A and B are shown apart, each in its own frame.
Chain A
Amino acid sequence: MRRTARGIAVLASATLALSVAACGGEDKAAEEQPAVDPASLTAELTWWDTSDPKNEGPAFQELIAKFNQTHPNVKINYQSVPFGEAQNKFKTAAQAKTGAPDILRAEVAWVPEFASLGHLYALDGSELLADESDFLETPLASNKFDGKTYGVPQVTDSLALMYNKELLSEAGISAPPTTWAELKTAAQTIKEKTDAEGVYINPAGYFLLPFMYGEGGDLVDTASKKIVINSEQNAAGLAIARDLIDSGAAAKPSANDAYGTMMTLFKEKKVAMIINGPWEVNNVKQAPGFGGLENLGIAPVPGGSAKAGGPVGGHNYVIWSGMPQEKVDAAVAFVKFMSSAESQAFLSEKLGLLPTRTSAYDLDAVKNNATVAAFQPVVEAGVGRPWIPEAGQFFGPLDQMATEVLIQNKDPKAALDTVAKKYKAEVVPSYEN
């Protein structure tokens, strides 16, 4: 009895919401001219920022100060939360309906997961998506789940080939390699002619995706619900990576802390090329002796026989569904401010982050930023990942496979078959193998 009654109430409120949304859509004028005076908005919002607390955090706090110039009565409680623990922390708190932040900077893969659990506000019909078409398509896609949009892209990224210009020219290489075959020759030349090693490949699942995409492979096919991780294409891609190491073109990777080793070697000019993303630009820039941004080359990842592309990453702003309704206006105003073209341009200028709005790329601050300009083709070539709630579980088995193939010399196809079996048993049981 109570159940039906509640069902009707829910239905009623849903239709109400629909009609409200419809009205909002029609009344364009009201949208462009904010109905409420920003100064009259009063709320206290908690924001969990998962960005690098030292390099990136201060710029976000500056943005909050700017926001408070127009919205003096919206207090933002800024809390930096380490990226590695934010996902579980948010879910634990949201599930207990206590202690979750009103607004969270969520990694792209988290959004469908949180949305499927009912932890996020659907943003459709709000001002935040009024100019939806301005957002770059691939980053925006990560916010969609089951026909609704649950977040607004903050920043996008993808893997690129980062190289030491000085070392490449010392080896007589004039342009960065564009295919894996070219990369191999270039790396071997560098190894011969300089003191440095050619390339360092991080033996982790995410960092091997460009090799698999290059041959036309992918993890799963969400449209036909198929597990395609153990395809011949992926095996061929892995064989290329493995050959780079076996032939000595790539440095022998460590099984543990390979990422840190890769960055240390690159910053110390001990390795000429790495595959990594824009989040490390600042770090490389500050490394003493590297030669700053002038010495840092950025090019799209080399291609295989099918195409060239890296996985799309990045972060989105999401709003916790447990936030009381009366704070919605303030939260929307804040996220709108933070994701505006101007704010994105500010972050580009300060941190070299890549905007997610087309219009931001037209602003001078972005246009004149060499790093961002260098990354633009990288992002354009980015390959969207399967945006399904289970996506977070794809990388555990994939990382294990990467170590097996690149360090323990296991056969790529056999290792991929094991991954496919795990996906079927533990990640996406409803998919076909």
Chain B
Amino acid sequence: MTTVTADPAPPSPPSGRSARPSRLRRSWEKHWYAWAMVLPVVIVLAVLIFYPLFRGIWLSLTNLTEANQAAEICTRSITGGEVCAENPNRWEFVGLDNYLNVLSGNVGDFWQWTGITLIWTLGCVVFHYGLGLGLAVMLNRPMWGRGLYRVLLVLPWAVPAFVSAFAWKFIFNERFGLANSLLSSLGIDPVDWFANQWTSLFTAIITNIWLGVPFMMVALLGGMQTIPGELYEAAEIDGASAWQRFRNITLPGLRPVSMTVILLGTIWTFNMFPIIFLVTEGQPAGGTEILVTGAFRAAFEGIRNYSLASTYGVLILSILLVFSMFYRRALRKQGEVW
């Protein structure tokens, strides 16, 4: 800003047409409205997310916890007065110790949690997208009762997620649940869903698929509205089969939306806290813990270990950044991405 005003730009009335405007000024005049449009969002995100995030990166290099963060611990007496004592174990910079501890398995089960997180994310996103796309294609056709189907199919999204989590937990309850009583009525032995790591993870994935499909469906349904109808018309005249039309018109037409929902869906699922936390509770014995829930339990039970939590946060962020780089590169081969 100061550069702009300090610039000895000629006070020419037809703005932006001056002979030699500075680059900054030219850029400002050309783009000010674009910047103005994004500014409010940038400010809010900077204050609420980026400040804590950068602080988190710094914290991960320290050993700061709730107990050692203050320089002195003061005790107020109810009869008046306050005694302060210097904190004997003041936090300090520890370099990469946290990362070494976490990655070597000295603290927590990073590698196991990462493995489970990858299975969980892949399982959920594939089914979210596949089922969401299938339903969206069907619901995009004009037919009888379309509005009703749309509303019914979107309901799982409308129920608060933690209530659905409880509902599914009840369904998979080993003694009283619907799942086991259905199995028994088919003559199959009831399953101790949560006693085995994989069946337990299965219950969580089923729950999350159920919860997430409506979102994908609605997003893709929205995306389908951008595909010009005449493309289908032309394809039909050329005698293209339904599959060919889907493959050559619908999928490419959905590309921008698909790219966004898969990318963000992956990020969200990777960090999806409540489902694992409520449905499996990490059972059996931590076997279905994903990175976020594991990190939460490791760092936020009892004295909260902010440096450890941040270390996990940075590791999660790094994994997702690497993923999005690869994703972007894979997509760029097919054209412009972002």
Give the B-binding residues of A (Cβ under 8 A): 7, 10, 13-14, 16-18, 20-21, 24, 88, 91, 95, 113, 115-118, 121-126, 128, 148, 254-257, 261, 264-265, 319, 321, 325, 328, 332, 389-396, 400-401, 403-404, 407-408, 425-427
Q: Flag B274-305 by CB within 8 Å of A: 1 or 0 each.
A: 00000011011110000000000110111110
Name the A residues within 8 Å of B174 (CB-CB).
Answer: 254-256, 261
Cβ-defined partner of A13 (8 Å) among B81, B298, B300: B81
Q: A254-B173, A256-B194 are in contact. Are A403 and B81 (CB under 8 A)?
A: no
Alpha-carbon gap, A265 to B176, bound state (A): 10
Cβ–Cβ contact A121 & B297, under 8 A: no
Name the A residues within 8 Å of B284 (CB-CB).
Answer: 255, 403-404, 407-408
Alpha-carbon gap, A407 to B283, bound state (A): 11
Q: Which of B71-79, B129-137, B246-254 contacts A (4 or more CB under 8 A)?
A: B71-79
User: What are 27 residue pairs bridging A and B, where the CB atoms are less than 8 Å apart in the complex?
Assistant: A7-B84, A10-B74, A13-B80, A14-B82, A17-B81, A17-B83, A88-B304, A117-B303, A118-B75, A122-B78, A124-B77, A255-B195, A256-B280, A257-B169, A319-B78, A321-B74, A328-B80, A392-B303, A396-B298, A400-B286, A401-B285, A403-B283, A403-B285, A407-B195, A408-B195, A408-B285, A426-B107
Cβ–Cβ contact A256 & B169, under 8 A: yes
Give A25's nearest chain B residue, CB to CB.
B79
Name the A residues within 8 Å of B77 (CB-CB).
Answer: 17, 21, 121-122, 124-125
Interface centre among A128, A257, A321 (most CB of B within 10 A): A257
Cβ–Cβ contact B78 & A392, under 8 A: no
Name the A residues within 8 Å of B303 (CB-CB).
Answer: 113, 117, 389-390, 392-393
Q: A264-B176, A403-B285 are in contact. Are A255 and B200 (CB under 8 A)?
A: yes
**B interface bracket (residues with beta carbon within 8 Å of A):** 35 or more
Give the A-binding residues of B (Cβ under 8 A): 66-67, 70, 73-84, 101, 106-108, 169, 173-176, 192-195, 200, 280-281, 283-286, 297-298, 300-304
Give B284's nearest chain A residue, CB to CB.
A255
- 3 pairs of A and B residues whose beta carbons are closest in the complex: A17-B81, A392-B302, A393-B302
Give B66's nearest chain A residue, CB to CB.
A117
Cβ–Cβ contact A321 & B302, under 8 A: no
Cβ–Cβ contact A393 & B301, under 8 A: yes
Q: A148-B75, A264-B176 are in contact. Are A396 and B80 (CB under 8 A)?
A: no
Alpha-carbon gap, A393 to B84, bound state (A): 26
